[in-house]
Amino acid sequence: MANIFPAWTTWLPLKVVICLVCLGSMTAVGVTYYFTPKYTRVGYQPLQPVSFDHSLHVQQLGLDCRYCHQSVEVSSHSSVPSTQTCMTCHQQVKAQSPKLEIVRKSWETGESIPWVKIHKAPDYVYFNHAIHVNSGVSCYSCHGQINQMAVVWHDQPQSMGWCLECHRHPEANVRPKDQVYNMDWKAESPKAQREMGQQFVKEWNVNPPENCAGCHR
């Protein structure tokens, strides 16, 4: 009896299986590599209900970070400014600006402004702002040159690997405590930063945890 299928089809099922395995492996590698905060979070720049320009308020007017984010030095969370904080100035400054209509409505009704959260740690991650800023880690290290952002974006990956890199080498990010909120401050050179950072780490007993329990509580 003549063969119905040509000889090359004998190996076809095995070839199909091998191709599917290779395709599945490549997909898994691609997802593992690219579906990380470096690619899915960095650059995230949502529109906010009120256009708050950090470059205007911080860079031009000289507002300190702590004026709006009042709990950053004493709490694990850096508080979002309340409407009262905004209206402290804007009852007099640009009081009737159309851009501040939502702020005025919030002030009158008592309803919070629905700000869109940009930086959010997963529920299984513990992060304490106060510990970091009181140890000489600047807002700049995690949030970038935010004083120059007209619209805030997600500047750093803030992934586990990224955090651990800093915990293993804190001297790279520790700076004089009176410069923590100065976004434009920089050491004279990488060498100067390293030497100064090592000194501060020793003097302030900075010892970031590298074990799981440090951040996963």
Cα gap 33→146, rounded to integer Å? 27
Helices (H), the chain: 12-34, 37-40, 54, 65-68, 83-90, 101-109, 129-133, 139-143, 160-168, 190-203
Residues 6+ apart with CB under 8 A from 44: 118, 153, 154
Measured between alpha carbons, how far is 180 from 177 in angstroms, rounded to an integer? Answer: 5
pLDDT at 30: 60
pTM above threshold 0.85: no
Residue 139's nearest CA partner among 165, 168, 177 is: 177
List the single range of 7-21, 101-115, 196-210 with lowest mean pLDDT. Answer: 7-21
Q: Is 177 exposed, middle or buried (0-12, 13-18, 19+ CB in 10 A)?
A: middle
Statement to judge: residues 17 and 123 lie in one domain: no
Q: Does a structural domain hold residue 134?
A: yes
Report pLDDT for 168: 97
Q: What is the pLDDT of residue 49?
A: 96
Q: Are residues 57 and 31 in the same domain?
A: no
Amino acid identity, position 15? K
- As a whole number of angstroms, the distance between CA 159 and CA 65 comes to 24
User: What residues make up the domain containing 16?
Assistant: 10-38
Q: Please indicate, yes or no, whether residues 24 and 57 belong to a single structural domain of this protein.
A: no
Are 125 and 20 members of one domain?
Answer: no
In three-state secondary structure terms, 39 is helix
3-state secondary structure (DSSP) of residue 205:
coil
The torsion angle over the Cα atoms of residues 196, 201, 204 and 205, rounded to 10 degrees, is: -160
Tell which wins on pLDDT, 116 or 36. 116
212 three-class SS: helix
Choose between 78 and 6: higher pLDDT. 78
127 and 30 share one domain: no
Residue 46 lies in a domain: no
Q: How many domains is the chain partitioned into structurally?
A: 2
| 94 falls within a domain | no
Q: What is the pLDDT of residues 159-194, one digit of tens each?
A: 999 999 999 999 999 999 999 999 999 999 999 999
pLDDT for 33 beyond 60: no
